[in-house]
Structure 1
Amino acid sequence: HHAQRQTVTNGRFGPIMTAIYVSKHIAATQIDTSHLNTPSNEYVTVQCRLGHNTKDTIITNAYWLPKHPNANLGWLAKHSAEYKSHPVLIAGDFNSHSTSWGYKRTTSNGRKLAQAMEVHQYTLLNDTTLPTRTGNSVEHDSSPDLTWYNGPVPATWDNLQETLGSDHCILQTSLTYPQTRRKSSQGGLRTKMTKWDKLRTELEELPTPSSYQEWVDILHSTYRKHTKHIINTPDQEHVDSHLLSLWDKRHRMIQRWKKNKTNRPLKKAIQAITEEAQEYACTLTTENWLQTFDQLNGQLHTSRVWQILRSLVGQAKPRHTLTKLLMHAGADPESLARDIQKLVYPHKPTLSPLPDHPPESPDSLSTGINSPFSMNEIQAALHNLKRNITPGMDGITYTTLRNLPEHFLEPLLDQINQAWETGILPHEWKTDLIIPIPKPGKPPNQINNLRPISLTSCVGKLMERMALNRLQWHLETTDSLAYTMTGFQSHVSTQDAMLRIYEDIYQNASTTQLRTIASVDIHKAFDSVAHHTILDNLLDTAPGSRMYNYVKAFLTDRTVQIQVNDFISPDHTLTAGVPQGAILSPTLFNLALKNLPGKLHEIPHLQHNIYADDITVWCCTGSPADQEATVQAGLDTIHTHIAQLGLTCSPTKTEYIVVSNATGQKADDYRALIQLHINGTLIPRRRTIRVLGFLLQQDGKADEWLSLITKQINEIHHMLTRVSRRNRGLKYHEMRKTVEALVYTRVMYNQPYVTLTTTQIRKLETALRKCTRLTLGVPRFAPNHLLPLTGIFNTLDERITMHRHAQHERLGTSRQGRRILDHQHYDTSQLPSIPPNSPPWDSLPRLHVLPLPRNMCPEAHSSRREDRVKRLTKQGEPPDTDLYFTEASYYPDRCRTAVTNDTYSHTTLHEGVPSPTAAETLAIAEAIIINTHHHDRILIRTDSQGACRQFRDNTLPPHVHALIQQHLTTHPHLNVTIQWIPGHQGMGGNLRAHALSRAEGNPGPPTLWPESYDPREHRKQLHKARTAILKELRMTVSTLPHPPPHFTREESAILRRAQTHTLMTPHHKHYIQGLPGRPYCPHCGSHPSNIHMIWDCPHANPLISATLHQLPPDLHPNSWESWITPPKDHQHLLLPLLIQHVHNALGEEW
């Protein structure tokens, strides 16, 4: 639930006495009443949208201090006039006596209140025969809580006669709104459930549609047929019988006490049973909460878990954004949509006609980048598109497209190729439904704080992805974009831009040399960029006529419809901008800025980085006057250039800092020598600016970032304490993954590029240790020196060292990355040359990879793997098809590939193969090029998903691709299908291939892998090596074994507490409770340390013998240390017995 609370300026009136909580499914906005609050009166008012097609309801909660004669009612007249046509409810604790509501006398405040409410036609809803406050032995029952109402909607009032331990009763007021629409007869939310297997089966049996429109109609009808709308009825809440019994008993006691309020023992009994019920209710609530997270163990791969965790951290998706904006502005959806359209998509006059592509020869129109799209390209694009994307107005989702059989993809491919060849796109592919969403960190009370997101057709996006693959290949091959443009480029990121800034400005601290960095903000860049510039710059790269005409058609005559709740505006034609949310848009925007880096490079000593619409320029040499002239020249160049694109810089949002490691007023005066402006308007100089998510300070320090990250770590730590306790909630291994994902990713995004002092590092490590202790399940007093011995997380030094090394290695695998390294004076001359990527259209013909199933981990999803093997075995060998099984055994110096079926077996020895995936790919290629196929169709089954992806995504090693291409060319009737199967699950052919690949014997001289550099394979190896090194570093210092995966949260916590000597023995209890004197063992009087209570104490000896009696004597540990750190072979025997012994020795208070 969302709390609406009225704050008091500077807290001068003491604690807040009023609050309104609004259920999260109700749209509500708070009305400012701070000017009404006085030391004796406090008000909070919310505006709620409770009914459809009705005025919003205004609810005010009031509190008047008792026995204060000066009640403030001057606001009521204005309040009533402003909301005259609205239902208005005013309720609260007025503490005013009047005979009109059951008091024996009328006070001044009571008379004023009754008169004012009568003048403004408010009705008192209270039943004056039912007091709202329970008196005591010296006070009568009374009614200080009043509810007044004025409005057309019927209202009813009820006193629930329940106080929940207070002296005020719970009052319920119900407003009955007309039901203008009903989602269902049963109510509740509706969820769609589609039976995809039945949809695929039906589509496979249907003939191929003859036209695109027929394809769309069949798809819609089949989808509706196999999709059900399920009503999610609220879960029936479990009523605890014990709590119900306590409450019933309490209710009977209260009824007895009301008849004799002088019965003090009964009053004390009521208080006691109320406290007992409250404590039990809290325990029950905690149990239900932890039970929820017990069920999430093993589900970290699902989005639901992360949605819950983000919500607990405070990152839940905002609700009712547009409704709240409508309520705040007092507007209707149509006018709000019109205002958003004027603000975001203002009409701009059309410039000269867009240029045409020069004519091309007929031969070039069917080859190269102009060639028609292939089935392999559409399948690769489908597999690489994001999942769970909201569809456009046609309602066709990516999931639907992924579930289409191949013969149903053919009409879609024909339509895409028709659009590609003619340069004419269907209208529905160019119609965007605009959904305004709030910008991160900004309140949704102004349309300036909204960001328009385009929902376009998923079919159109599919073609965008296919065209983008070709366009990116073309731009990379022709080196059309500068290396300083790091936005939406392959294998570079924001951290690479920050690497340059850090090494140029922050790495070498100086108190004399100033360094200036400016961040330029472009006003509504994506929505305003001129189409003419994009196409001119695209034409300069010679992309081919079909690519050019497609982009031209994509940009021109686009229409948008803005949706505000249920209202959808008419079509509005765009004359500028690229749609936010479209796949092509970031690359097209990069094209618009293509010529800017060259102009900035001409300015001596100026450095820059362009990440989409975020432009950063800096200078780190020269005097203040020289730096000012250099950076100002860069700003002038940016302003002039983007003005030609139809864009403008925002002087108020553009900002800069002047970095100097000196401190004091003299340093500030020195920084003030540099002043910058844009188009004659001074831009502000800040102490801290944010660039691409990084906080940059003018003093070269990292105080702001450290304060922010420690606050975030503490918030996440607090959230994790809610989802995992020492004995319940998320388990050990799930907690480790969660901390890595939520904490260390945030830290490692910034920390490699800031300079921390020793004190700051200790502060950061202290915050991280809190998460480490929580993950381990140990208390706060667990010794610091024992935490690294658990090997659960790498140290910050290890992470930073590996991050910097991995970043340099990654940059060395791409041309753009190497240019960045060259610019930063790193030697790249010894790196192998990068071969050109194969073009996307150069895919293997007549080769199809069946969809890869998800969630097939051998450990976590063994039942799913067994079920898949059973189904494939039951299907048997397809008719008129040769079935082959492939396998590869890989060793660093050699590998052996195997191909087999019922009548054929062959093995080959290879040397120099770079990875197991490459070996599996070779095995599949050898199965394809066999010359003894009996049929024109072959089915190859492999247990390597990586090899399947290489074939599917057309990322094969060049020589393997050429080998298969040549064979398919000489065998034009051969059709190849590749299918993934679970390995080592009992499928006969897979077992034979596995045994054959590991068989002894000499299959002949080895085949050498060509000595060509494969950057894709290199990046995979670097990632694996980095993961292995980090794991090895953890294991090197780890002397305490990890809890087995099957251990519960409680068992893992007991083990970790035993290893860190933090079991709750009398020693710890003594000092936690602050008892006087020294602690002692209750059994023998010795010091009650962990080792003594569990191992050394004579009382523990019979418990140890009873626990270990089932083990052979040679396996018995000879010391406590040997029990908490047993050999790896004996851990599965000794660790469970250790848990049992701790329970026997310490009970449940371990």
Structure 2
Amino acid sequence: MQNLNIIQWNLNGFYKKINELKILIAEYSPDLICLQETNFTDKSHTDLRNYTSYTQHRTNGLRASGGVAIYVKTFFPSKQININTHLEAIAISVQLNETNLNICNLYLPNQTKIELFDVENITKQLPKPFIILGDYNAHSTTWGSEKTDYRGKIIEKILENDNMVLLNDTSPTHINIANGNLSCIDLTMCTSTLAQRLKWKVLPDIYSSDHLPILTYFIPRLGDTNKNKSRRWNLKTPNWSLFSDIIEFEITKIQHNDHSNIENTVKTFTDMITSAANIAIGSSINLTKKPKVPWWNDEIKRAILNKKNALNTYKKHKTLENLIQLKKLRAQAKFLIKKSKKNSWKEFTSSINPKTNSHMIWNKIHSLKGLNRNQEIHITDAQGTTSSPKDVAEKFGTYFQANFSNDIYKQEFIDEIKIPSENSPITSTINPCNSEQIDLNSNITLNEMETALKKCLSKSPGPDSIPYCFITNLGITAKKFLLDIYNNIWHSGTIPDEWKKGIIIPILKPGKKKHSTDGYRPITLLNTMTKVMEKIINLRLIWFLEKNEILSKEQSGFRHARSTMDNLIIIKTEIENAFKHKQILGMISLDITKAYDSVWRHRILTILSKILTSGNMFKYISNFLKERQFQVKVSNTLSNTFYQENGIPQGSSLAVTLFLLAINDIVETIQVPVISNLYADDFNILCRSNNLNTVQEFLQKSANNLSDWSKKTGFSFSNLKSQSIIFTKRRKIKPLKITLDNLVIPNQDKIKILGITFDSKLNWLPHLKNIRDSLSQKLNIIKIISHTTWGGDSSTLLMIYRALIRSKTDYGSILFNNANTSHLNMIQTKLNTAIRLSIGGFKSSPIESIRNIANEISPKLRREKLLLLHCARTKRNTNNPATKIINTYIQEAEKKNIKINNILDRKPYNFPPWNTTFNVNLSLTNFKKENTIPSIYKNMLQNILQEHPNSVQIYTDASKTNNGVGVAMIVNNQKITYKLPPQASIFTAEAIAIYKAAKFFHSECVSPETKCIILSDSLSNLIAITNTSNPPDTTKLIQEETFQAGKKGKQILFVWVPGHSGILGNEIADKEAHNAIDSTSTTNINSITFDDAKIVINTYINNKCHSHWRQLNTKLNQIKNNTNLWTNSGLSRKDETTINRLRIGHTHLTHSYLMSNDEPPSCDTCRVPLTVKHIITECHKYNQYRDQFHISEQICQALGPNPQDTNNLILFLKKSELYNLI
């Protein structure tokens, strides 16, 4: 489809605004102009030069008023579409290449009464695809209005149509001249097939009309623009072997050089990597005007070339043979493109998770369509509008540099605190001989580097053009060379300048002005080699901080086993307690102005000097914070270099931890009865009492303390962005009047904390409305993809549904679980629609059947599941303040026989994990059990034992049956057994057996031997022992016990032995573990792991869902009596939709009467009600086809999960001409 620009505008008088209209045309050169309130009469001259005009005048007015008009450039063939309506509307069809675009312009004055039928009547008359736009005078929070009126609800109903998409992005389109209020009443809707190619924006120009012009345009294909191109590595088919070999060879030429000049060494190594990549991987830059799409490959290129050659051959020689060859090659090219699109989409969707935002998916849709995703930025300020990428980048650079300058600090702080402090040297008071300090400052190891690389999954390169995968695929010599670089930097404290320079990409903040620099936030790209080193240092620092409990327990941000929900559930519980005791709760949400940018670096180093010695760690961080530089990139154009005077570097994992240290003591300013709540820089204080004056007094005192704190630290609070709120059931309560630096903090009746809107009555209605409106936008993605051939299969759509839509309702659902059912239904309706669209269900389908096909549980059950999982996760960390809050929920879970009160606590290691290894022998795994006789295993094991004479040998095993779980260890002739809760997994049981063996040797064994061999047949547990980066909780117990034993000179070796292979100790341990289950004398261990609890919770929820399904009486119940997933692998979208509808029992053929209020259909042949069961198994009309394709007379088999039955049914439907009626 050709590129097309459409401007819509309610100009309120064509003749009065003609000059402004001409300015608009001159600036934007629209191909179509849709005007409302033209105020034409039958005698009016309505033409515009170079445009074909179509007008509809108001005929019932006493004066010239209302009316609509469409103007089409004469270049485009067009014609009017006659529509039967009493509304002010006009429709046209514009010919674009080989297709037609249909556009309807609509004006709905406030005084005109409309119903749903009136608008539906128009949409039903318009040929597809179409755009319907205009001034609707309809308000809805879905498209950005403050409220939803009756007309807004009508339009919302229209948008519930599977094929309708709203393009509005919530930007205001109307200004009330009298009071200056903004609203969104001009709308643009289209069919879903068009939406993926259209872009919508309100123009910044303010003309004399109270409506703003709107530009809707087709996104150009990538080849339609000639912007700056960036070079990309060809990572789809890299030759990693060649890449590694080249570097391994080249590095021999420099590996003996010293690293005295670290700048030159890093540059040489960087150049070596990029040179090898150019040879072994290659890069490309798209300089042609052909569409560059992710599914393009050489095979498609050849197929299209062959097709073109065949066409030319046929033009020259029009023979039947050449025609057949042309058709064959055209079909082949079409098939390859479709297949490649599907593969590209599946590759992308496999990476989708709840953190994937809708913007990424829109970009992928545009990419598959070959559309230009480049977002040009234009900045408008007092100097005018800046469009050149270079100039825009400079504007951003100047703006961001100002944010990092001393101007962010108050002059009083600079004069009295900052300058005097920075003129005084920082001296550490920590003993450098402390064992922890020695470990912290020890050499970086290769194992640490490999562990850090495993956490680096991004394919994006840094400023040096090196992505993480280049480092991961280096050879061993090159990795050791890089390790030498790291250790040289580590000991010298000198970081290369290029490693302290970042490239900032400006990203538009949600809901902010796109033509202003302050509407953007900086995302910084750093060199990947330095980010790997920073991860290594950061992991060490986090271990030290957590082990010594230096970070405040109130801080939940960026900490293991902590989340925003910890803070939010504390706030919710405090509010509920206030309601329960008829109290008043006051809360202040404090906004720290540019928190990361204003961090005082000297303060960080002062804090570190009190916990770190002046060794490698301190020197590295000190240099890390100094002399930071950045450039800004806009449209692949770089600005000049700017300097970051203050703050911490963006994009660095280490910087986040340093920020937590910088803000850590903010909680010390708060004293009881005030409660503090901290997530990174999101700080809230709350206090409840029977007396408002008491709440006021204590919160004001806390605000004063915070003001004093800010004057000493350099942080400052924004009085306007900070908010206060009162929660109470009392009526006519006065607002809080809290001052911060002599300015009153604004009081609100609702407040947003960490993405959750709390209202003063805690009825959750404002928050649920926000979710509903957000889901309406995200539903467009499902609608669009469900109408494509490359991405419309149910599994993909459900994946997107879970990542974008369900995750939106999941977040915070444990908080609003007890909200009013009618309020919860607002979001449940959207969820139901999304699932139905994903599986292709007919509109009348029962939601329970839809969920069953999609393998989805109900929202109510899901909220219960998430609450139970949150409780289990929180219980895992006893240092979390939220553990005190969840006891009520845990008691409720106990009543359901869900035991989560005895979950193992997860604590930081007592030893430095980077300097600690464990001795695990897995050599017997080299012999496959099916190919190895027991005697060989016995002989090999004997060899291992002989290598370690005078060692205590302990065999361990575990057993799990329906009656319970038992573990055993065998030491010489001593048999020790334990019994675990029945919820414990076999992995947990085997791990506990190993742990008890290690503990026995460490603490209880009276043998004089200093060596121990623990033999287990649990390979997964023994492999886990070697993992110190993120092991299972039970494994940490084993590692801790082994380390403590080592400190006493007791060494433990873990050996894998095959089970049931005649190894005596293992056989005895197995038998004793089994016997322990039913023994009354066995010692009980009442602990399970979080992973065990997850299994228990999932089983409970699944059983509950299954039980509910068995009680229903839907058509799907007749063929499917369980909630297991039935896959439809290999089916097209159309086939899959057809089968799903038939299984549910609701199809267009049998149930469309419900949409049109007609009578239920009857079978013309048999004179009985027309049902799916009748069509497939009973109707005499189709007996022949039923026999031909072996369709079972049993509906449960005909529509069952068997792939052959499914394929036969599809053939039956096609042959009987029913396929397109379903």
TM-score, normalised with respect to structure 2: 0.63
Judged with a 3 Å threshold, the aligned counterparts in structure 2 of structure 1 residues 42 and 314 are, in CA distance, closer, same or farther, namely: farther
1:896-950 residue CA offsets vs partner (Å, 9 max, x unmatched):
999xxxxxxxxx9997796565689899999xx9xxxxxxxxxx99985994695
1:69-148 aligned at under 5 Å gives the runs: 92-93=50-51
1:502-538 residue CA offsets vs partner (Å, 9 max, x unmatched):
1111576479643322221111111111112222223
Match of 2:542 among 472, 478, 484: 472
Partner of 1:594: 664
Equivalent residue letter for 2:405: P
1:863-882 aligned at under 5 Å gives the runs: none
Pick which of 755-764 and 588-597 moved more: 755-764
Contact 1:469 1:840 in 2 (8 A): no
Match of 1:644 among 712, 727, 748: 712
Match of 1:459 among 513, 517, 529: 529
2: CA distance, partners of 1:162 / 1:732 = 33
1: CA distance, partners of 2:529 / 2:561 = 27
Partner of 1:219: 273
Look up the SS of the partner of 1:1086 in the other structure: coil
Partner of 2:24: 43
Judged with a 3 Å threshold, the aligned counterparts in structure 2 of structure 1 residues 321 and 608 are, in CA distance, closer, same or farther, namely: farther
Judged with a 3 Å threshold, the aligned counterparts in structure 2 of structure 1 residues 39 and 224 are, in CA distance, closer, same or farther, namely: closer
1: CA distance, partners of 2:354 / 2:4 = 24
2: CA distance, partners of 1:774 / 1:920 = 45
1:1088 aligns with 2:1170: yes
Partner of 2:255: 209
2: CA distance, partners of 1:322 / 1:728 = 28
Look up the SS of the partner of 2:814 in the other structure: helix
Partner of 1:264: none
Look up the SS of the partner of 2:775 in the other structure: helix
Partner of 1:779: 842
Partner of 1:340: 399
Contact 1:438 1:449 in 2 (8 A): yes
Contact 2:648 2:659 in 1 (8 A): yes
Contact 1:190 1:231 in 2 (8 A): no
Judged with a 3 Å threshold, the aligned counterparts in structure 2 of structure 1 residues 994 and 379 are, in CA distance, closer, same or farther, namely: farther
1:546-594 residue CA offsets vs partner (Å, 9 max, x unmatched):
3333322222333334445566555555442111211112211111122
Pick which of 1043-1052 and 755-764 moved more: 1043-1052
1:862-915 residue CA offsets vs partner (Å, 9 max, x unmatched):
xxxxxxxxxxxxxxxxxxx99x9x9999746679999xxxxxxxxx99977965
1:360-379 aligned at under 5 Å gives the runs: 360-361=431-432, 367-379=438-450
Match of 1:301 among 350, 357, 381: 350
2: CA distance, partners of 1:887 / 1:383 = 32
Match of 1:810 among 862, 866, 873: 873
Contact 1:377 1:840 in 2 (8 A): no
Judged with a 3 Å threshold, the aligned counterparts in structure 2 of structure 1 residues 218 and 361 are, in CA distance, closer, same or farther, namely: same
Contact 1:688 1:696 in 2 (8 A): yes
1: CA distance, partners of 2:4 / 2:232 = 23
1:828-867 aligned at under 5 Å gives the runs: 836-845=908-917
Give the C-alpha shift of residue 1068 in structure 1: 2.9
Q: Unmatched 5+ residue regions in structure 1?
A: 15-33, 48-57, 73-90, 97-125, 137-158, 169-173, 246-283, 851-880, 899-907, 930-939, 979-988, 1110-1115
Give the C-alpha shift of residue 1089 in structure 1: 2.7
Contact 2:584 2:688 in 1 (8 A): yes
1: CA distance, partners of 2:33 / 2:851 = 55
2: CA distance, partners of 1:909 / 1:1144 = 70
1: CA distance, partners of 2:958 / 2:875 = 30
Look up the SS of the partner of 2:255 in the other structure: coil
Judged with a 3 Å threshold, the aligned counterparts in structure 2 of structure 1 residues 502 and 361 are, in CA distance, closer, same or farther, namely: closer
Partner of 1:19: none
Judged with a 3 Å threshold, the aligned counterparts in structure 2 of structure 1 residues 795 and 308 are, in CA distance, closer, same or farther, namely: closer
Contact 1:1070 1:1079 in 2 (8 A): yes
Judged with a 3 Å threshold, the aligned counterparts in structure 2 of structure 1 residues 167 and 499 are, in CA distance, closer, same or farther, namely: closer
1:148-201 residue CA offsets vs partner (Å, 9 max, x unmatched):
xxxxxxxxxxx9998977999xxxxx9xxxx999969xxx98856642232124
1:620 aligns with 2:688: yes
Contact 2:432 2:615 in 1 (8 A): no
Give the C-alpha shift of residue 597 in structure 1: 0.8
Look up the SS of the partner of 2:653 in the other structure: coil
Give the C-alpha shift of residue 606 in structure 1: 1.6
Partner of 1:382: 453
Q: Unmatched 5+ residue regions in structure 2?
A: 55-72, 80-93, 104-219, 260-264, 312-332, 367-371, 408-413, 892-900, 923-942, 948-954, 970-974, 1002-1015, 1110-1116
Match of 1:1068 among 1148, 1151, 1154: 1151
1:751 aligns with 2:830: no
Contact 2:599 2:646 in 1 (8 A): yes
1: CA distance, partners of 2:770 / 2:102 = 44
Equivalent residue letter for 1:1062: H
2: CA distance, partners of 1:180 / 1:1059 = 51
2: CA distance, partners of 1:71 / 1:425 = 69
1:585-608 residue CA offsets vs partner (Å, 9 max, x unmatched):
2211111122111221x1x33222
2: CA distance, partners of 1:559 / 1:1091 = 71
1:417-816 aligned at under 5 Å gives the runs: 417-506=487-576, 509=579, 513-542=583-612, 545-563=615-633, 568=638, 571-600=641-670, 602=671, 604-661=672-729, 667=732, 670-671=733-734, 673-724=735-786, 729-754=791-816, 755-784=818-847, 786-787=849-850, 790=853, 792-816=855-879
1: CA distance, partners of 2:102 / 2:810 = 53
1: CA distance, partners of 2:712 / 2:521 = 24
1: CA distance, partners of 2:633 / 2:788 = 48
Contact 1:43 1:62 in 2 (8 A): no
Give the C-alpha shift of residue 402 in structure 1: 1.2
Equivalent residue letter for 1:93: Y
Judged with a 3 Å threshold, the aligned counterparts in structure 2 of structure 1 residues 93 and 358 are, in CA distance, closer, same or farther, namely: same
Judged with a 3 Å threshold, the aligned counterparts in structure 2 of structure 1 residues 1020 and 428 are, in CA distance, closer, same or farther, namely: farther
1:356 aligns with 2:427: yes
1:1005-1052 residue CA offsets vs partner (Å, 9 max, x unmatched):
76999999999x823333444444444444444452643342524444
Judged with a 3 Å threshold, the aligned counterparts in structure 2 of structure 1 residues 180 and 470 are, in CA distance, closer, same or farther, namely: closer
Q: Number of matched residues?
A: 911
2: CA distance, partners of 1:4 / 1:997 = 79
2: CA distance, partners of 1:498 / 1:293 = 41
1: CA distance, partners of 2:853 / 2:573 = 35
Equivalent residue letter for 1:421: H
Equivalent residue letter for 1:221: S
Look up the SS of the partner of 2:552 in the other structure: coil
Give the C-alpha shift of residue 5 in structure 1: 5.7
1: CA distance, partners of 2:956 / 2:336 = 50
1:120-144 residue CA offsets vs partner (Å, 9 max, x unmatched):
xxxxxx9xxxx969899xxxxxxxx
Judged with a 3 Å threshold, the aligned counterparts in structure 2 of structure 1 residues 968 and 605 are, in CA distance, closer, same or farther, namely: closer
1:40-64 residue CA offsets vs partner (Å, 9 max, x unmatched):
86834657xxxxxxxxxx9898899
Give the C-alpha shift of residue 780 in structure 1: 0.8
2: CA distance, partners of 1:35 / 1:386 = 59
CA RMSD of aligned residues (A): 5.7
Look up the SS of the partner of 2:589 in the other structure: strand
2: CA distance, partners of 1:629 / 1:513 = 15
2: CA distance, partners of 1:835 / 1:191 = 43
2: CA distance, partners of 1:578 / 1:561 = 16
2: CA distance, partners of 1:945 / 1:731 = 39
Contact 1:511 1:661 in 2 (8 A): no
1: CA distance, partners of 2:581 / 2:979 = 53
Contact 1:134 1:167 in 2 (8 A): no
Aligned-pair identity in percent equals 17
Give the C-alpha shift of residue 493 in structure 1: 0.8
Contact 2:8 2:34 in 1 (8 A): no
Equivalent residue letter for 1:655: Q
Contact 1:380 1:952 in 2 (8 A): no
